[in-house]
């Protein structure tokens, strides 16, 4: 379920209903498709939270553990690698970034795709 607050709503989604609710709550929503066992996911999570709180406080950032939700949710969103940071606008995925690059390059790419979605 999503957390509320003055900063970006940040939470861990655990069901298809949570996912649908998250996408309906804002024009632009960013979803970090991750896994608890994924070292890159563990590394990126606190840094993404910090970036969103500082740079995009109006954009909800939510996390989906691919092992904790129904497989059809993962496959229907085209997720094949973790972490995948996906940007949804008006409920539809408009961009994604598979964080396989170094941290700095990944953060810059995420910034770019979020800024484009906000236009």
Residue 71 among the catalytic residues: no
Residue 41 among the catalytic residues: yes
3-state secondary structure 9-48: CEEEECCHHHHHHHHHCCCEEEEEEECCCCHHHHHHHHHH
Residue at token pair 């989604």: 13
Catalytic residue among 13, 38, 62, 74: 38
3-state secondary structure 76-111: HCCCCCCCEEEEEECCEEEEEEECCCCHHHHHHHHH
- For residue 55, the surrounding DSSP H or E stretch is helix 39-55
Active site residue ranges: 38, 41
């Amino acid at each position: 379920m999503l957390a509320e607050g003055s900063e970006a709503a940040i939470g861990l989604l655990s069901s298809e209903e949570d996912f649908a609710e998250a996408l309906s709550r804002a024009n632009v929503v960013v979803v970090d498709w991750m896994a608890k066992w994924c070292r890159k996911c563990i590394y990126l999570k606190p840094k993404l939270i910090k970036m969103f709180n500082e740079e995009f406080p109006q954009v909800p950032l939510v996390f989906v553990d691919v092992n904790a939700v129904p497989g059809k949710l993962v496959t229907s969103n085209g997720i094949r690698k973790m972490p995948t940071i996906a940007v949804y606008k008006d409920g539809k995925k408009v961009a994604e970034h598979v964080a396989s690059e170094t941290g700095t390059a990944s953060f810059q790419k995420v910034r770019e795709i979020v800024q484009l979605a906000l236009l």
